[in-house]
Amino acid sequence: MKEFANAKMDKWTLFYTILYIFFSIGMVVFMFETEESKFPIILVGSILSGAFIFTYFMIPKISLSENAIHVKNAFVNFKISIQDISYVEKVEKLGLNIRTFGAGGVFGYFGYFNGNDVWYVTNIYKKVKITMKSGKIYMFSPENTEDFIQQITNLKSKI
């Protein structure tokens, strides 16, 4: 089984991650100076920290076996069958994408976008779109997009 490293965060994803950190710290400091009770500070700090940690644990490990793409993070562990893939392509353009459910910006873009598309993207400039025969779309961002696409294409040709 070959594992593919996730692409490093692009400048916008890194910017949103740093912005979230400063916003969170600023919010807690602001509340600390204005509140007499410490409970709201602890609650807000816990929620902001929990969201940050939750998003970090959504970064996937992507690997490829002879018959499937394996996607695993702290919350999911699933396979995408090679024989069910219609086509694979590199997506270089940026467009309007609507987050349906998930995290968008901090550490990457994870979850459901544009309705039912499943994204595990850490770099918006290195996206690989996998379209299934059923019409379902998966988006990943391996560091070496060309090698990832070539490996899948080679496995598809053997089936």
> How do 77-81 and 85-91 pair as beta strands?
unpaired
| pLDDT surpasses 80 at 39 | no
Q: Return d(Cα 101, Cα 135) in angstroms, integer.
A: 19
CATH of the domain at 75: 2.30.29.30
Task: Give me the chain's average pLDDT, please.
Answer: 87
Give pLDDT, residue 19.
Answer: 93
Q: Look at residue 31 in the predicted model and tell me its pLDDT.
A: 76
Q: What is the pLDDT of residue 18?
A: 93
Integer Cα distance of 159 and 145 in angstroms: 22
- Chain centroid to Cα 32, Å, comes to 33
Mutual angle of helices 39-56 and 11-34, in 10-degree steps: 170
Q: State the average pLDDT over residues 99-127.
A: 87
120 with 111: CB under 8 angstroms?
no
7-16 average pLDDT score: 92
Q: How many domains does the chain have?
A: 1
Classify residue 90 by its DSSP letter. E
Checking if the pLDDT of 1 tops 90, the result is no
Residue 35 pLDDT > 70: no
Note whether 120 and 104 are within 8 A (CB): no
Beta pairing, strands 99-104 & 85-91: unpaired
CA dist 84 and 75 (Å) reads 23
More confident residue, 61 or 100: 61
Q: Give dist(CA 143, CA 127) in Å, integer.
A: 9
Over range 114-135, report the average pLDDT. Answer: 90
Query: Could you give the CA distance from residue 157 to residue 141 in angstroms, rounded to a whole number?
Result: 22
Which residue range is the domain that position 36 belongs to?
1-159
Q: Judging by DSSP bridges, how do beta strands 117-121 and 137-140 pair with one another?
A: parallel
Q: What pLDDT does residue 14 have?
A: 93
If pLDDT is split at 50, 70 and 90, which confidence band does 128 have? very high
Residue 29 or residue 107, greater confidence: 107
